[in-house]
Amino acid sequence: MLYASVLVLAYLIGSIPTAVWIGKFFYKTDVREHGSKNAGATNTFRVLGKKPALSVFLIDVAKGFLPVYFIPILLLPFSMGTETYILWQILLGVCVVLGHTLPVFASFRGGKGVASLLGIVFALQPFAALFALGVFMLVLFIFRYVSLGSIIAGISFPCYIFFIDARPLWSLRIFSLLVAVLLIYTHRKNINRLLNKQEPTLW
């Protein structure tokens, strides 16, 4: 019962539709009806501006980090750093992403999960998160495409785990590959627009 409960709790935390609630409560706007129609920080920036976008980004990162980092410490009977402990962190992270992309509090119409994934990776492997964030910022600075930065940063995560991490556990390896695949899948429309030179730049 405990294990099922913490997974549901992680899903519900992930289901908090930050962009939707901030848009509706403070700006009387549903960001899903404008711009790219995505409930994420980038579309919030395009529709509502910098301040709400930054709030959405930070809350979504926290939404990924807090349950993955603190639920195992506070509620699960496993020793920190063990394979089982990390596996449960990953399971909680999967539930958070599922909640973010299919939020029960927003008619199952969520975002792509990039910010929440960043928070999850920070909880699992902070150096890998910093590496991926650095890759994202570099790609964004050079090409000005958030989607391209997100995709390449997602691919950089398994590269770090496989080739740089000093203790690459099998669970982290599999999870890192799934993250890369997920980001490519959720950005498939962006990839099509990039190939057709129709993707909008951030500035």
State the SS3 of 136-190: HHHHHHHHCCHHHHHHHHHHHHHHHHHHCCCCCCHHHHHHHHHHHHHHHHHCHHH
Q: Is the predicted pLDDT of residue 194 greater than 90, yes or no?
A: yes
Per the structure, the count of domains in the chain is 2
Q: Are 32 and 95 found together in one domain?
A: yes
Say what the pLDDT of residue 17 is: 97
Q: Could you say which DSSP state residue 34 is in? A: S
Give the Cα separation of 11 and 83 in Å (integer): 22
The pLDDT score that the predictor gives to residue 87 is 96
186: pLDDT strictly greater than 80: yes
Residues 144, 70 within the same domain? no
Tokens of 98: 């599922």
Q: Percentage of the chain surpassing pLDDT 70?
A: 100
Task: Print the domain residue range for 182.
Answer: 125-203
Q: What per-residue confidence (pLDDT) applies to 25? A: 96
Name the band, by pLDDT with cuts 50, 70 and 90, for residue 132: very high
pLDDT score of 109 more than 90: yes
Q: Are residues 18 and 67 in the same domain?
A: yes
pLDDT value of position 166: 77
Which of 192, 195, 187, 117 has the alpha carbon at shortest distance from 147? 187
pLDDT in tens, 2-51: 999 999 999 999 999 999 999 999 999 999 999 989 999 999 999 999 99
CB count in 10 Å sphere of residue 78: 15
**What is the Cα–Cα distance from 96 to 120, expressed in whole angstroms?**
9
Give the mean pLDDT of the chain: 95
Q: Using alpha carbons only, what angle is made at residue 176 by residues 171 and 181, rounded to the nearest 5 degrees? A: 125
- 118 within some domain: no
Per the domain annotation, does 191 fall within a domain?
yes
